Amino acid sequence: MTAFAAPIAEQIWDMKYRFKDADGAPVDITVEDTWRRIARDLAKVEDDPALWEETFFDALSDFKYLPAGRIIAGAGTERSVTLFNCFVMGTIPDDMGGIFEMLKEAALTMQQGGGIGYDFSTIRPKGADVKGVAADASGPLSFMDVWDAMCRTIMSAGSRRGAMMATMRCDHPDVEAFIAAKQDAARLRMFNLSVLITDEFMEAVKAGGPWELVFDNKVYKTVQALDLWNKIMRGTFEYAEPGVIFIDRINRANNLSYVEQIAATNPCGEQPLPPYGACLLGSINMARLVDRPFEDGADLDEEKLDDLVRVAVRMMDNVVDASKFPLEAQAREAAAKRRIGLGVTGLADALLMVGSRYGSEEAARLTERWLHAVARAAYLASVELAREKGAFPLFDAEAYLASGTMQAMDEDVRDAIREHGIRNALLTSIAPTGTISLYAGNVSSGIEPVFAYAYTRKVLQKDGSRTEEEVVDYAVQMWRDKFGDIDLPDHFVNAQTLAPLDHVRMQAAAQKWVDSSISKTINCPEDISFDDFKDVYMEAWDTGCKGCTTYRPNAVTGSVLSVSETADSAPSENPETSTDGEVIYMSEPLDRPAELEGQTYKVKWPDSEHALYITINDIVLNGHRRPFEVFINSKNMEHFAWTVALTRMISAVFRRGGDVSFVVEELKAVFDPRGGAWMQGKYIPSILAAIGGVIEKHMIATGFIAGEGMGLKADPQAQVVNLSGNRGPACPSCGQYDLRMVEGCMTCASCGHSKCG
């Protein structure tokens, strides 16, 4: 017997969450060992650890409560990793020294795996005077390019992926350039972009009025508000960016508006955070809480929901004390406010089980009722924790209760907070749950509709072949088990068939009882008119949403292109690795699989005391073997700095894809002014040229290039495929054509890869 409801769930656990030794040997033998590891670690801070360990274990069992992936993977491992998913970094000062100090902090945070958000509105616009140096400012976008390069470098070093969010105010003089930045396919690929939209701007849009672009009280330009709004809308219509964040609404509703000002969010937008703010995430699995699914009178068991939420809040509060932080400022911020982000997943499956059509008015009412129950339970649990352990340090009862969110809270909850305080300043958030939803048996993600009832997934086997398996939505599988393979009822709808405004209705219903924000994708058909598309965003504004993210499939929004020898060629049926090279173009680097095949070569440069050892590892994509990374090692400490730099740069190039054979020619062309050396009957102009020769030899042996001094075996001028078909872009991790936009993240249905971690 296995606890997993589907093979993909066990594979995701083994690949992403199972604790293993450095050599890959499993420490967690079963998923129960994973639950036990988490429960024991989070119970350490309790007065009675043994009691709470069992309580926490029960909440985790059967995938009822799903901590965020960083907690599942990191808790109890003693590894130097953060259990917090996301951070907003410090305010960027408008001076060179401060800007690069912020860059350093970002690198340290991303090195531990945290996603980060930054507001670049504080940097003076392009062309502004820089006093004291007789120069013009390069503007915030130039510094965003530096951040982008930093992120690529961190990931090329093998660290866990951490996404970045960049925001800019709608009144910044460079906002038009910000809106258009990612229309350049090679620029800012490590960033999500969102414009901070103010109430005043939306009023000007509706009134058809002018809008001033201002920095440091100087008006740089006046535009029509509607024209600027249309530029934002056209950008996201054609390129899926930028998103919009209704920043005044966020600050007005914030429980902590009396001590903080928010200007940025985490990468997926569900966590608006102050400078150095951090949030940990977790989700209640609604699909496991439905009583009598698909029967008359089916309903969510709200008593079980209440009990589970109270345990989840306690576990998450303990994470604040158990986690490490990349920066001391982040630790202080978390301890002062103890904000957590408890959300839900499996909502759409739960609605299917009770007979409600996602997107309908009835489903919106149920969603509001259930999330009200989550909020009540969470706030009351936090009050009990305050009675036991103390309120968060910056708690001020009257100021706290006067915030926008708390004014709408039930009176008995307000009274309890006034009397006893509250342990956690903010408690609820709807975060992306794509990977943990697969781990829980392919339940529907977050508050999203079911993306697909079933699909076929190709699974890479150890021998390099691929097998196919069906992946079925959790609720659909339950329906099949109960009634057999008969037609699904009419209320079974999915993301492809829903009207965009139905998505907005569900997001608005959920937002009423979520004190942070919501990560949700509003899927739009490719043929939606521009005016109808704009109506989606205006409806989100009118119905109280804090932001809006849409996805309209088209040729531009695909992130990976595959070039094959013929435009109509299908994927090879031969499971064996081909010896022909293939060009794979990517706008973001490949993730590193757990295992790679490679070869180590020894280079002994004449007159050098120590040899170089060059390891080249390969990846198989679409049946073709191609170089993925290089490691250069030597005991000669004089070589240390440049070999590390070369290792990182070449590996970063390889992971970007494309025709990387140019690396060989560039290295072979380097000459040493002190003279080269004769090696194996050939004159080699430098040690770098010798390294280039080794890489070339490896590329020839693996079939990536045709021969010495020759190019790719496959024609790099061949036509680009997959621009017009329904197959979509390929996953940069596993190469399969199963990427889909869910909760603002491109997520692979085959391997669980997500840009957002």
3-state secondary structure labels for all residues of 639-705? HHHHHHHHHHHHHHHHHHECCCCHHHHHHHCCCCCCCCEEECCEEECCHHHHHHHHHHHHHHHCCCE
pLDDT of residue 713: 46
Residue 346 CA to residue 448 CA, distance in Å, equals 8
Count of domains for the chain: 1
Cα angle 319, 301, 371; round to 5:
55
pLDDT band at 710 (very low <50, low <70, confident <90, very high): low
Residue 16 CA to residue 310 CA, distance in Å, equals 27
Mean pLDDT of 665-679: 79
Q: Give the number of C-alpha atoms closer than 13 A to the C-alpha of residue 14, restricted to the C-beta side.
A: 14
Q: How, if at all, do strands 522-523 and 550-551 pair?
A: parallel
Q: What is the pLDDT of residues 117-142, one digit of tens each?
A: 999 999 999 999 987 776 789 999 99
User: Does residue 407 sit within a domain?
Assistant: no
Q: Which residues are catalytic?
A: 266, 268, 270
Q: What is the largest CA-CA distance in the chain?
A: 88
pLDDT of residue 529: 96
Residue 63 has pLDDT above 90, yes or no: yes
| C-alpha 173, offset from chain centre | 29
Residue 182 has pLDDT above 80, yes or no: yes
Place of tokens 């801070």: 45
Output the CA torsion sign for 390, 391, 396, 401.
negative
Residue 584 CA to residue 561 CA, distance in Å, equals 6
Is 84 within 8 Å of 280 (Cβ atoms)?
A: yes
Residue 283 CA to residue 445 CA, distance in Å, equals 10
Mean pLDDT of 447-456: 91
Task: For residue 722, give the nearest of 510, 489, 560, 598 by alpha carbon.
Answer: 560
Higher pLDDT, 740 or 356: 356
Which SS3 state, helix, strand or coil, does residue 61 take?
helix
Output the CA torsion sign for 570, 576, 581, 583.
positive
Give the tokens for residue 46.
């309790």
Provide the residue range defining the domain that includes 631.
561-721
User: Does residue 700 sit within a domain?
Assistant: yes
Q: What is the pLDDT of residues 552-573, one digit of tens each?
A: 987 666 432 222 222 233 333 3
pLDDT of residue 457: 79
Residue 374 has pLDDT above 70, yes or no: yes
pLDDT of residue 555: 67
pLDDT of residue 604: 85
User: Does residue 569 sit within a domain?
Assistant: yes
- Lowest-confidence region among 77-91, 207-221, 380-394: 77-91
- List Cα–Cα distances, 659 to 655, 711, 713, in angstroms: 11, 9, 11
Instruction: Give pTM, 2 decimals.
Output: 0.79
Residue 754 CA to residue 109 CA, distance in Å, equals 19
Residue 175 CA to residue 243 CA, distance in Å, equals 13
- List Cα–Cα distances, 221 to 130, 174, 211, 218, in angstroms: 19, 10, 9, 9
Residue 231 CA to residue 442 CA, distance in Å, equals 38
User: Does residue 496 sit within a domain?
Assistant: no
What is the Cα gyration radius of the chain? 27
Any residues with CB less than 8 A from the CB of 331 and at least 6 apart, and which?
325
Q: What is the pLDDT of residues 222-248, one digit of tens each?
A: 999 999 999 999 999 999 999 999 999
Which SS3 state, helix, strand or coil, does residue 413 take?
helix
Is 268 within 8 Å of 756 (Cβ atoms)?
A: yes
Q: What is the pLDDT of residues 613-652, one digit of tens each?
A: 899 998 887 667 889 899 988 877 777 788 888 888 888 8
Which SS3 state, helix, strand or coil, does residue 231 take?
helix
User: Does residue 225 sit within a domain?
Assistant: no
Output the CA torsion sign for 193, 198, 199, 201.
negative
- Whole-number mean pLDDT of the chain? 87
Q: What is the pLDDT of residues 307-317, one digit of tens each?
A: 999 999 999 99
pLDDT band at 462 (very low <50, low <70, confident <90, very high): low
Secondary structure element (H or E) that encloses residue 115, with its range? strand 115-119
Is 520 within 8 Å of 495 (Cβ atoms)?
A: no
User: Does residue 106 sit within a domain?
Assistant: no
pLDDT of residue 465: 65
The rounded percent of the chain whose pLDDT value lies above 90 is: 60
Residue 537 CA to residue 127 CA, distance in Å, equals 32
Secondary structure element (H or E) that encloses residue 459, with its range? strand 454-460
Q: How, if at all, do strands 191-197 and 243-246 pair?
A: parallel
Q: What is the pLDDT of residues 491-548, one digit of tens each?
A: 999 888 899 999 999 999 999 999 999 999 999 998 999 999 999 999 999 999 999 9
Any residues with CB less than 8 A from the CB of 37 and at least 6 apart, and which?
19, 28, 75, 76, 77
User: Does residue 716 sit within a domain?
Assistant: yes
The rounded percent of the chain whose pLDDT value lies above 70 is: 88
Task: For residue 474, give the nearest of 293, 255, 739, 735 by alpha carbon.
Answer: 293
Cite the beta strand spans of 120-183 per DSSP E. 129-130, 135-136, 164-169
pLDDT of residue 756: 63
- List Cα–Cα distances, 256 to 87, 297, 332, in angstroms: 17, 41, 16
pLDDT of residue 721: 28
- Lowest-confidence region among 220-224, 350-354, 734-738: 734-738
Most trustworthy range by pLDDT among 32-41, 452-461, 556-565: 32-41
Mean pLDDT of 466-473: 85
User: Does residue 705 sit within a domain?
Assistant: yes
